[in-house]
Structure 1
Amino acid sequence: MIKDFLKEYFAWYALYFLLVITFLITFFLYHLPFSYFITSLLFTGTITILVSIWQFYLYYQKRQELAANLLLGKDSLLNSPLEKAFLAHYHNLEKEQLQELSYYLEREKNLQNLVKMWSHQMKVPLSAISLMTQTNQLNPQDIDRQLLSLDNYVDTLITYLKFHHHKTDFRFERIHLKEVVVEIVKKYRLLFLHKGIDIEISGDWVLKSDHKWLSFAITQLIDNALKYTKKGGKITIRMANSLVVEDTGIGILKEDIPRLFEEGFTGYNGREYQKATGLGLYMTKRILDDLGLTISITSDLDQGTTVVIKN
């Protein structure tokens, strides 16, 4: 510690010794009484030693204060302008680190809850397939529907994890949106047939976007329309410099609409029908924001829901 102290105040001690040498040369050149120099040296040397002892004590106390992390005390010894600037910077860094730690802890908690929720969601189609096997009622169409549900859950989970690790791989290209929509509808054809839901597709929209991520976002919208449209209903998809997905489903409560894009929000319908994960629309909004597109939702209870995507 003494070595560090000397390094800290090296400039002052060097200045003192420089002054001593200067006075010694002056006394020598002008043939002044050397006894006066010795007396002055003893006097200034004594003062220097006493001040050094006091400064070393303060230095030791400051080191102890730093080591004990007692930087929030009102009686802090760190009170010079430079030290106060250091404390302010230290507190800002500490606050940022605490906020970052809180964010990561909250994210870890959300991921744990997500895994628990996903385990429950994926058990439903797995249990259905298991029941079919046990009762020897292996209907290929029923199995395909359950496998489609599993595929959607896994795809959503992987996409969600990519979001939280900032792993997006956008590749913009010219896209005919009708081709994307038709591809998704074909993927869900068994569900359309199973629930007897009519699908009407009209128009087209040519835009520059990322095929994979845009497809994921639209898949979430069509998947929601299918979930909440009862048997015999209808889903209409129109395209003309925008995308409109309209269904004749159960609708959404007015008070739930402003919160639809919040992470983990399921709303009344999601809780009532046990079909929502609270992530689909959240990720859809995130993707569309990154793609430079906007999304809006209007709905009337027991009348249906309309989703509009546009530039």
Structure 2
Amino acid sequence: MIWKFFKEYRLWYSLYAIMSALYFLMFYLYRLPLSYFINSLILNLTLLILVTIWQYHKFKQKLNILHHFIYVEELKELRSPSERSYQDLIAKLKDKESEESFAAKAEMEEWQSLIKMWSHQMKVPISALSLMAQTDHLESNEVQQQLMKLQNYLDSLLTYMKFSQNKDDFRFEEVSVSSLIREIIKKYRITFLAKNLSVTIQGDWLLKTDKKWLSFALSQVLDNAIKYSKNNGSIDILITDSSITVADKGIGILDEDLPRLFEEGFTGYNGHKHQKATGLGLYMTKKILENLNLTIEISSQIDKGTDVIISKTTKDNDDKP
């Protein structure tokens, strides 16, 4: 503790020693009586010792406070301007730490809720497969359909994890939207057949974009169209050189749910009723499309169907004179 004290105030003690040496040199050079210098030195040293004892006591108290304080209010005994500045800095750091801790806790709770929700959804196809195995009714199409559901849930979870970590791995290339949609439909063919859905595709769009991420976004849109389509229904896809429209004739979406469809975690009435939504598909779709300079709009009517329109982002960047 003593060594720390002298290390803290070494500049002042060094200055005192230098000043004393200079005064001695002046007395010596001008042949002044050294007894005056010695008496002055003794008096100054006495004062210095007393001040040192008092200052050391304050220094020791300050270190004890700093070593054991928990709340910033405990530092109020430190009153010098620099110590007040340190208090303000510590308060800001503790506030920032509290905010980060709260954010981390909220994120952890969100992930726990998400995992529980995904686990609950994955139990449905697993239970279906288990029941088919127990009853020896392992129909090929039904097994493939349940396995596809599991794969889609896992793909969505992994994509969300990657998406939430803000990993920008976009690679733009020229993509035929019509060919990409046909690949996605081929992937979902078992589900189309299970609900006896027909699909029509008109037009094409050679779009410079990231094929993988656009495929994920379109898969989410088509997956929703399939989920909420009625048996023996149809899905019409119209592609122009600036937009993609996916129209189904399914159960539709409530008007009050439309403004919140792209909110993270929002499932809406259909998602609750049919237990088919995680509330993340459209949220991720919108964010991904924004990164691809595309927009998404949804219009719907109950029992008449839903139209999803993906189009180029309009930019009014022309400078006006």
Same-fold call, TM cutoff 0.5: yes
Residues 1:37 and 2:14 are matched in the alignment: no
Residue type at the aligned position of 1:245: V
1:92 alignment partner, SS class = helix
Within 5 Å, which residues of 2 pair with 1:81-230?
81-230=81-230
Residue type at the aligned position of 1:193: L
Distance 1:258 1:69, change over 3 A: farther
CA contact (8 A) 2:252 2:305 kept: yes
What's the CA shift for 1:256? 1.8
2:199 alignment partner, SS class = strand
Residue type at the aligned position of 1:285: K
Distance 1:260 1:134, change over 3 A: same
Distance 1:160 1:60, change over 3 A: same
For 2:150 and 2:52, the matched residues in 1 are separated by 75
- Per-residue CA deviation, residues 84-128 of structure 1 (Å, 9 max, x unaligned), is 333333222222222222222222222222222222211211221
128-137 vs 162-171, greater mean Cα deviation: 162-171
Residue type at the aligned position of 1:246: A
CA contact (8 A) 1:71 1:87 kept: no
For 1:80 and 1:208, the matched residues in 2 are separated by 63
- Per-residue CA deviation, residues 245-267 of structure 1 (Å, 9 max, x unaligned), is 22222222222222222222111
Residue type at the aligned position of 2:6: L
CA contact (8 A) 1:222 1:245 kept: yes
1:204 alignment partner, SS class = coil
What's the CA shift for 1:29? 0.9
Residue type at the aligned position of 2:124: V
For 1:244 and 1:83, the matched residues in 2 are separated by 65
- Per-residue CA deviation, residues 166-185 of structure 1 (Å, 9 max, x unaligned), is 34422221111111111111
- Per-residue CA deviation, residues 174-222 of structure 1 (Å, 9 max, x unaligned), is 1111111111111111212221222121122222221111111110111
Aligned to 2:316: none
TM-score, with normalisation over the residues of structure 2?
0.90
TM-score, with normalisation over the residues of structure 1?
0.93
Distance 1:291 1:134, change over 3 A: same
Residue type at the aligned position of 2:67: A
CA contact (8 A) 1:245 1:307 kept: yes
What's the CA shift for 1:234? 2.1
1:73 alignment partner, SS class = helix
Aligned to 1:21: 21
For 1:112 and 1:70, the matched residues in 2 are separated by 31
What's the CA shift for 1:18? 0.8
Give ranges in structure 2 of 5+ residues lacking alignment. 313-321
| Total equivalences in the alignment | 311
For 2:83 and 2:236, the matched residues in 1 are separated by 67
What's the CA shift for 1:160? 1.5
Q: Percent identity of the aligned residues?
A: 50
2:231 alignment partner, SS class = coil
- Per-residue CA deviation, residues 230-282 of structure 1 (Å, 9 max, x unaligned), is 11222222222122222222222222222222222111110011111111112
Aligned to 2:262: 261
Within 5 Å, which residues of 2 pair with 1:218-257?
218-240=218-240, 241-257=242-258
Give ranges in structure 1 of 5+ residues lacking alignment. none
